[in-house]
Structure 1
Amino acid sequence: MLLLPSAACPCGRTHPKGHVLAYADCCARFVEHFDTTPAPDAEHLMRSRYSAFVLEHGPYLLATWHTSQRPAALDFEAGAKWLGLQVKNFRATGADTAEVEFVARFRIAGRAVRLHERSRFVREDGRWFYVDGDQF
């Protein structure tokens, strides 16, 4: 799926004045330029990974998955329609570790799905990686 740079960012991050940031001003800089622009913290990485799921951008998802847990390949749910992301909590758990609790909503074959997870992240060589998470 392609997204115009001026389109609203799938992650839903808002500007201080309340409007949703454009994809180009939000997650695109990380998703489209992973080699040169790493996410500055675990929350930005989690949001950009959500956007990558919406866009079915497998290379970014695999590149930002910690090697200890990274799957060999990704399969996307055919016909999934992503409906939104809510970041409930973001906290550093150490100098190079963090957790992000979020709720992602999507629909498959007319059925609503709510994914509530507390994800763990680690920073190595200046880059944040998704490690794993606990679902609620």
Structure 2
Amino acid sequence: MSRPAGPRDRWLLAGAAVVALVATAGSLFLSEVWGLYPCDLCWYQRILMYPLVVVLGVAAYETRPRVYRTVLPLSGVGLAVSTYHSWLQATSDGSCGFGGGCAAIQYRLEPLGLTVPNLALVAFALVTAAGVVLWRRA
């Protein structure tokens, strides 16, 4: 038997939605305003992150903590892709088997030294953590 949703669930859902929204807006800003071209792995990460904005936003509005069933597959795969992408950047010469320059570093957030895939990794980790908390509470 599941427990009723509470205000903590709504805040957790809203926080995860904000993380997904900031990641989405950031990726769009980097490509549309600064003109950075997303590689193939970046596109996969976008495909997995963008729907999370809507899914988590609606779930927060309606306080639907069981949304973890949708969130965890998307964020879990996104976490794996961004981890692999970050690993490629840390260990490769600038090319990969996914259509070119997936390992090339186009932007680094200073003073932290985080690259775009590193930022995606943080976002996917936060959303995945929120999904796991919701799953454990259910």
TM, length-normalised to structure 2: 0.28
Flag the structure with larger Rg: 2
Q: Which structure dedicates a bigger proportion of its chain to helix?
A: 2
Q: Which structure dedicates a bigger proportion of its chain to strand?
A: 1
The answer to which structure, 1 or 2, has the higher relative contact order (CA under 8 A, 6+ apart) is 2
TM, length-normalised to structure 1: 0.28
